[in-house]
Chain A
Amino acid sequence: MKKRYLVIALILLSIASLFIGVKDISPLELFDLTEEKTQVMWISRVPRLISIIIAGVSMSIVGLIMQQLTRNKFVSPTTAGTEDSVRFGILVSLMVFTDASPWLKLLVAFVFALLGTFIFMKILEKIKFKDSIFIPLVGLMFGNIVGSITMFFAYKYDLIRNMTAWLHGDFSSIMKGSYELLYLSIPLVIIAYLFANKFTIAGMGEEFAINLGLNYKQVVNIGLIIVAMVSSLVILTVGTIPFLGLIIPNIVTLYLGDNLKKSLSHTALLGAVFVLCCDILGRLIIFPYEISIGLMVGVVGSAIFIFLLMRRKAYDR
């Protein structure tokens, strides 16, 4: 797959995304929009497109970073308890500060995400049995434990309805004024690019990294901070998009290998294209209603995940 094709696909899908919706806007009238249509464009369609692209890009990239740092193809925010920890953090922020501002929610969610991911990394260090499937299973179990604690308190304090919004990724509620937090992901993605080489070396193992004079622990920590922050941002603004950070990097590394400097831009582009596809499909299938992105990516993604598991022989070397 050439990068050029991905860019073209991204541009075409972006344009399509802008003109799909209940309010019928045709590309022909772009320069002659009524005031109402202009508003639809700027309040709903454009923010939606931007958030899709940022979420797709950043979630795929953090997935790739996680897989590199844990040296396991099946680890991602979904399968390492990161996403569950974010939701736990959001719940805590709702419980403790009833009218939590987005910034406060973000901070608490981030702290929990970081903590959850660190706990997972610690568990990983302790596991003697390094089977490539076993590790994400442990992560899923850990995530489910955190998730059930979250659910318990959500029921107890009658916050379950607030929580479902973050359980399920959904772009339909994205509007001007509700998604801007997501822009914070952009500098994080840039940092990920700058550290690409270091992540690749860290992915070769601690001893390999030390031999080359890399500060291994620092690089791993920076990676995990990026992972926790991006997961928090995306879940807070869009909701959970399961499996995204797992399937996209896996598909890209299949044909590009594990050199992050080479694969990062492809991963970013493919992530955006994939989420855009799923979102457009979700909007068209039961038009004028919508299937949420969480469900769309969940269905398509889990199918691809199973496929990747079946061909895991390729990874067991």
Chain B
Amino acid sequence: MVEIRNVSKQYGSKNVVENVSLRIAKGKITSFIGPNGAGKSTLLSMISRLLTKDQGEILLEGTEIGQCKSSDLAKKISILKQTNHITVRLTIRELVSFGRFPYSQGNLTKEDWKHVDEAIRYMELGDIQHKYLDQLSGGQRQRAYIAMVVAQNTEYILLDEPLNNLDMKHSVQIMKVLRRLVDEMGKTVVIVIHDINFASVYSDYIVALKDGKVVREGTTNEIISAQTLKDVYDMDIQIEDIDENKICVYYA
């Protein structure tokens, strides 16, 4: 379990994240939603030690992450940020093999390669594994990065806007993959996501943030309600039940 206690972060004099306390449940998908500038990505970056926090504690299985060695954390928690502008020319297979770096420091054993092969198979990238990242479509590239995280084999997987720049088909594909990671492999997934309908359909828990504070948190059912969403987004959102899913209609 990840426990966040009274965490704050300032940029200059501006509080980007203010006194946030949360618990992230194991074996579930938790989505961070909220308007731009709500501090979602900053919070995710702090949980994954990419950013240092100014105040508070973040406990991973009871241990403050600041006390952990970065190389040990790499075996427990992984993070993918928006990766659309990476210019490095690697093949999918090479990229995925870097996911084993925390275990092998670059000298991969047979065991490591087995993980790499499995991750590639799991993400259905076998046919194109020798293609370079710059030859791939956005959806394929996102899958390649997720494959790397699968090979990294961490209990916690954090993703910052994994659907950014993807079309509907690839977005659904990615969300289904995340669902499978949780349901089949028992991972804990935390995502920052803008599309509240994807959050509604695929996540177990939702944390709604606004102006650096948690407005509400709870199960998907509790959060996807007209009143809560109005508090978060300052707009009237109509909610329809379609096939047991709650779909938000906010286009007009």
Q: Are B72 and A211 interface neighbours, CB within 8 A?
A: no
> Chain B residues with Cβ under 8 A from A203's Cβ?
88
Interface residues of B in 141-192 (CB under 8 A from A): 152
Nearest Cβ on chain A to B57's Cβ, whole angstroms: 20
How many Å lie between the Cα of A247 and that of B48 in the bound state?
Answer: 38
Name A199-215 residues within 8 Å CB distance of B.
200-201, 203-205, 207-208, 210-215
Out of B75, B88, B98, which one reaches A71, CB within 8 Å? B88
Cβ-defined contact, A317 with B87, below 8 A: yes
Contact residues in B for A262 (Cβ distance below 8 Å): 94
Question: Is A198 in the interface zone, CB < 8 Å from B?
Answer: yes
B94 touches A212 (CB 8 A): no
The residue on A at minimum CB distance from B93 is: A259
Contact of A257 among B73, B75, B80, B94 (CB under 8 A): B94
Interface size class of A (residues with CB under 8 A): 20 to 34
Interface string of A192-236 (1 = CB under 8 A from B): 000011101101110110111111000000000000000000000
User: Residue A212 contacts which of B87, B88, B98, B134 (CB distance < 8 angstroms)?
Assistant: B98
Residues of A within 8 A of B85 (CB): 317
Nearest Cβ in chain A — how far from B157, in angstroms? 11
In the complex, per-residue mask of B100-138: 1 if CB is within 8 Å of any chain A CB, else 0: 011001100000000000000000000000001010000
The CA of A213 and the CA of B94, in the complex, are separated in Å by: 17
Residue count of chain B within 8 Å CB distance of chain A: 31
A257→B81 contact, CB < 8 A:
no
Query: Which of B70, B88, B90, B106 contacts A210 (CB under 8 A)?
Result: B70
Within the complex, what minimum Cβ distance (angstroms) separates B92 from chain A? Answer: 11
Is B74 part of the contact surface with A, judged by Cβ < 8 Å?
yes
A258 interface residue, CB < 8 Å from B? yes
- Contact partners of A212 in chain B: CB under 8 A: 74, 98-99, 101-102, 152
Are the C-beta atoms of A259 and B86 separated by less than 8 Å? no
Contacts of A208 in B (CB 8 A): 81, 86
B55: shortest Cβ distance to chain A, in Å?
A: 21
B residues contacting A by CB (< 8 A) are 48-50, 69-75, 78-81, 85-91, 94, 98-99, 101-102, 105-106, 132, 134, 152
Q: Given contacts A211-B48, A213-B69, A317-B134, could you give 16 more A-B pairs where the C-beta distance is less than 8 Å?
A: A197-B101, A197-B105, A198-B106, A200-B98, A204-B86, A210-B50, A212-B99, A213-B71, A213-B72, A213-B73, A215-B71, A257-B89, A257-B90, A257-B94, A258-B90, A317-B85
Name A residues whose Cβ lies closer than 8 Å to a Cβ of B: 71, 196-198, 200-201, 203-205, 207-208, 210-215, 253, 257-259, 261-262, 315, 317
List 14 A-B pairs, Cβ < 8 Å.
A71-B87, A201-B98, A207-B79, A208-B81, A210-B49, A210-B50, A211-B48, A211-B50, A211-B74, A214-B71, A257-B90, A259-B91, A315-B87, A317-B134
